[in-house]
Amino acid sequence: MDAHMAVGVCHKTTIDATKTAYTTVAHVGQKRTFTAFNSKQESAGNPLADVSNRPPFKRPSLTKCLDVLKASEIRDLADHGPTEYSQRRGLALTPAPSSNPYLDLSHLAYHLPKQLVDNFAALGVKSIYPWQSDCLLKSGALRGEQNLVYTAPTGGGKSLVADIFMLKKVIENPGKKALLVLPYVALVQEKLRWLRKVVSGITKKPTDTPNNDRQTSIWRKRGDEDLIKVAGFFGGSKSNVSWADIDIAVCTIEKANSLVNAAIEDCTIGKLGVVVMDELHMLDDESRGYILELMATKLLCLDQSIQLIGMSATLNNAELLARWLDNAKFYISRYRPVPIEEHLVFDNAVYCASSSDSFYRTATQLASQAQRSPQGKPEPLRLIQLSQAKELKSPLLNAVVALANETARKGYGVLVFCSSRMGCEADASLISQVLPRPEEIDAEILLQRSDLLNDLRSTTTGLDPTLERTIPTGVAFHHAGLTTEERELVADAYDRGTIKVVVATCSLAAGINLPARRVILHGARMGAELVGPSMLRQMRGRAGRKGKDEIGETYMCCQKDDLEAVTELMEAEIPDVESCLVPGKRGIKRALLEVIATHLATSDEAVDDYIRKTLLYHTLGRDELAVMTKSTLESLSDGKLVHSPAQGVYEATLLGQAIVASSLTPEDGVFVHRELQRALEAFVMDGDMHAFYTFTPVQATGSNINWRVFQKEMDHLDQSNLRVMSFVGLNPMMVNKMAQGGAMKETTPQEIETARIYKRFYSALQLRDLCNETPIYAVARKYEMPRGMVQNLAQTCHGFAAGMIRFCHRMGWGALAAVLDHYSDRLKAGAKSDLLALAEITYVKSRTARIFWENGFKSVGAIAAADTKDLLPVLLMAQPKKLRLDEANEKKYIQKLQMKVDLISKSASKLWERQMQQELDEEEFE
């Protein structure tokens, strides 16, 4: 019998026991002791009545693994002389503060507070590298005198330099704020956690305040005004904070641009002191990176002393970017704190490729099989034995598995980059089969992996079956199909050493900081296309763990068909970063609309000044630029987004203002406007579907429709929802036709827009299910989609919904905005209307809120008044199913839940006090 099935037969889950044996009764208005409460429940068999008297449970064994395979052995050949690693050890190229005092952050040259230096030291930053010292002291940027562009290899310490710039600015200039711009939500969240640790206990320098104002400020002090406050802005994060509430804002690109637009419009942009743009190479990403250029160019046009700092590991034209950023200083470092040895793997042989030249030479010779050339065929460093297992017959796959096995068995971390989500899971399964079985693993590590499995089981989606099989041997995968919680748990376990091998898609390379002793590239493709030079460097740059590994290794594993392409890829230079405001791309249209709508440029002269501040101005001919600007302004005017009240003067129309306020592109804004106008003519109010359709992001319509599922869902729609289909322009006959194998044309603009509406409605069906408390995993299964993509839809909707409400307010559609605002709360809670109040409580969302409601806790006040011991059994009922644990682990599990209950109680009490205060204020006002 399957091991997992056997466990399932032998033991009931905790939640099963709780559901059958326990209910709660609401007693609102007073705190109740658990003793009094428990005495009423003894006859009901409360599972938490006496944990100590429970019979011991057998600890679940981690034996649900795949069949055992044997990894091929790797044999070393002749020694090829000194390596970069051996040379680095001999020369000791990283000096210490004892030999160079400027490598100590406490040096007077940096003027950093002792508390900040101590915080860095507590986080492991006890000294800096020579290049960091040079960049800080010789660029002039530390004194705030210069803008700066700098580049250094991945893992070289770029972020620390930016941290010091930002912190010094806000500490020494209490009225100034810092903006840190990152491309991915995962990076924003990671950086947010880091910066909050860095600024712990640090205060800003006091400001000179007149006596009368000083009395007022002292009267209003809460006690934390002088502390450095860090806030995050990303995705669906809903925050009403103002500049006064923060010192450092960590943002995604889109959120940063919105903050800048709002600050320009309300004339508070003068409070901004420094803007740091990480991953500056994304400027030439047409889909979203171009917004960096829009934002930076607006700041360059302002008569404000805002310092701009850009950094990246992959900049080939830093000097040009520095000229664009108002003749900024530029600094280029090639220093790696951990040496990297690079290899090419082909046909079960490992070749040296320590530089691009040697890699090119090796790959070229292998591709041509130049046996008779003067140089001859390259000599391999190592040979990988052929495998007898049918699963490992492919030399490429055999090499990946063997290299991962070798590193993991020595206790080091491995990252394997794969071309697809399915490939990630397949590679993880195979690598798991060659690693030691759970019974061969150290008990402490096994316990940590057991805890990881239980944490994954406790997520809203439950435990992925492939992870359940691979984690016991120390292998996991990481891709967009996993939810945010799953990815964070996997990443944290890898960082702590619980997991030794992570197989990931390329998104991990740029999206999160997880370095490894050995990086293995399973082929040079991501999907059907070859990876670009920049992405290749991002992946290879993950090799080497400062403080954990003395060396990093990369292995590019190729098959014969790709060898020539890999040769060209390795020889290729990183492409120059170029502007996306060029003719034929959408960026310039949004750029001009934004500067006109924010009144930054309202005349021909001002528009021309803005254009001269763009990166595009440095690369495009002046005549061509003038023609492009004129045609773009005419296009905005034809689209009724801009009008000209006088010759050479421009104003944004109401529609143009609404588009900018909602952070939409002009093209998407015009589409949304048509959709909302149709809704104003007939908005279906006897159901939810029309509101959910309105909140479905237009960007989410890129996913493919499963027409069979669409047809099945349509067949179950009631009359209200069928009216919604009709009002938005969908034909049920078309859905039936597509489900039978038809093809939807998307050639003409009208056909493209029609297809967009069908895709949007299909995504809205998923959103409807989520807001009706259907779990993410169930929605994913129903629509045959990865659960991570379903979760991403829900998260993307949060920000888009806020934009739609702003759009309606700006257009003067207050009634529609009010309706959408109510559904925005439901979207945030992932629940029906009756749970909205409970969903405001920390950790109480969707299913948890419903369990509290069904057990009598139907208001914030009821939870605030309850004893925490009475809340624990209810929270236990809301947990996903898990295997029954032994006594020790069960106690740890209950303790974790108790900590969560304490936070729930505190959050409810704060909300309840706020509600009571508001009611008192209203009574006093009346």
Asked whether residue 309 falls in the same domain as residue 374, the answer is no
Contacts of 277 by beta carbon, 8 Å cutoff, 6+ apart: 181, 292, 296, 308, 309, 310, 311
Amino acid of residue 779 = V
612 and 709 co-located in one domain: no
Spatial separation of the C-alpha atoms in residues 101 and 95, rounded to whole Å: 10
Domain stop point among 513, 545, 571: 571
| Cα–Cα dist 121/579, whole Å | 40
Give the number of C-alpha atoms closer than 13 A to the C-alpha of residue 198, restricted to the C-beta side: 21
Cβ(281)–Cβ(534) below 8 Å = yes
The residue from 571, 605, 626 where one domain ends is 571
Predicted confidence at residue 222, as pLDDT, reads: 46
Residue type, 869: K
- Among residues 276, 328, 269, 262, the alpha carbon closest in space to that of 303 is found at 269
In a domain, 218, yes or no: no
Which CATH number covers residue 620?
A: 1.10.10
> Would you say 314 and 538 are in contact if contact means Cβ atoms under 8 Å apart?
yes
508 - beta bridge partners?
Answer: none
List CB contacts of 765: < 8 A, sequence separation 6 or more. Answer: 710, 713, 783
62: nearest Cα among 846, 873, 885: 885
Length reported for the chain:
926
One-letter identity of residue 328: A
Residue 581 lies in a domain: no
Q: What SS3 class is residue 826?
A: helix
What pLDDT, on the 0 to 100 scale, is given for residue 424? 92
111 shares its domain with 202? yes
* List of residues 6+ apart from 411 with CB closer than 8 A: 497, 500
Please state the φ and ψ torsions of residue 105, each to the nearest 5 degrees. -65, -15
In a domain, 579, yes or no: no
Token output for 698? 């237009």
φ/ψ (deg, to 5) at 645: -70, -20
Task: Give the residue from 410, 415, 515, 429 showing the smallest Cα distance to 472.
Answer: 429
Beta carbons of 577 and 321 less than 8 angstroms apart: yes
Q: What are phi and psi of 634, to 5 degrees?
A: -65, -40
Q: Does 647 share its domain with 736?
A: no
C-alpha distance from residue 917 to each of 30, 405, 860, 910, 924 (Å): 19, 61, 14, 11, 10
Rounded to 5 degrees, φ, ψ at 778 are -70, -40
Residues 360 and 317 occupy one common structural domain:
no
State which H helix or E strand residue 378 sits in. none
Helical packing angle, 787-811 and 814-829, nearest 10°: 160
Residues 566 and 592 in one domain: no
What is the per-residue burial (b if ≥16 Cβ within 10 Å, else e) of 154-182? bbbbbbbbbbbbbbbbbbebeebbbbbbb
Structure tokens at 798: 């949060």
How does pLDDT run across 901-919, given as a tens digit for each residue? 888 989 888 888 888 877 7
Q: How far apart are CA 286 and CA 77, in angstroms?
A: 47
Describe the chain by its helix, strand, coil percentages, rounded to 5. Answer: 55, 10, 35
Number of Cβ within a 10 Å radius of residue 772: 15
Q: What is the DSSP letter of 603?
A: B
Whether the Cβ atoms of residue 776 and residue 790 lie closer than 8 Å to each other: yes
pLDDT score, position 881:
64
Report the pLDDT value the prediction gives residue 926, as an integer from 0 to 100: 54
Distance CA 383, CA 399 (A): 10
Structure tokens at 517: 């002793």
pLDDT (0 to 100) of residue 373: 47
| 476: β partners | 502
**Residue 437: CATH number of its domain:** 3.40.50.300
| Whether residue 789 sits in one domain with residue 640 | no
Q: For residue 411, is it left (φ>0), alpha (ψ between -120 and 50) or beta?
A: left
Q: Is residue 788 part of a domain?
A: yes
Domain shared by 787 and 921, yes or no: no
DSSP H helices, 855-886, are 860-865, 868-877
Residues of the chain with pLDDT under 70: 1-66, 78-95, 206-225, 235-242, 354-377, 507-512, 527-528, 547, 571, 583, 700-703, 880-886, 921-926
d(CA 82, CA 497): 30
Q: Using one digit for the tens of pLDDT, what is the confidence trace for 774-824? A: 888 889 899 988 888 888 888 888 888 888 999 999 999 988 888 888 777
Question: Is the separation of the CB atoms in 522 and 418 below 8 Å?
Answer: yes
C-alpha 256/C-alpha 264 separation (Å) is: 12
Q: Strand locations in 148-199, DSSP E?
A: 148-151, 177-182
E strand or H helix at 54: none
Q: Which amino acid is at 303?
A: D
Residue 382, classed as helix, strand or coil, is: strand
pLDDT, residue 493, reads 94
Residues 900 and 762 in one domain: no
Q: Say what the pTM is.
A: 0.82
| 187/273 same-domain check | yes
Domain hosting 625: range is 587-652
Q: CATH no. for residue 751?
A: 1.10.3380
Does 80 fall in a domain? no
- Between CA 563 and CA 524 the distance in angstroms is 9
Quick check: is 898 in a domain? yes
DSSP state, residue 652: E
Query: Cα(77)–Cα(73) distance, rounded to whole angstroms?
Result: 13
Alpha carbon distance 256, 906 (integer Å): 32
Flag whether 85 is in a domain.
no
Residues 233 and 323 occupy one common structural domain: yes
Q: Do 378 and 503 lie in a common domain?
A: yes
What is the per-residue pLDDT for 67? 72
DSSP string, 418-432: -SSHHHHHHHHHHHH
What's the structural domain count of the chain? 5
Place of tokens 């950093």: 112
Spell 666-695 as b/e; 16+ CB within 10 A means b.
Answer: bebbbbbbebbeebeeebbeebbbbbbbbb
Among residues 431, 425, 368, the alpha carbon closest in space to that of 567 is found at: 368
- Counting Cα atoms < 13 Å in the Cβ hemisphere of 745 gives 5
Token digits for 611? 């254009």
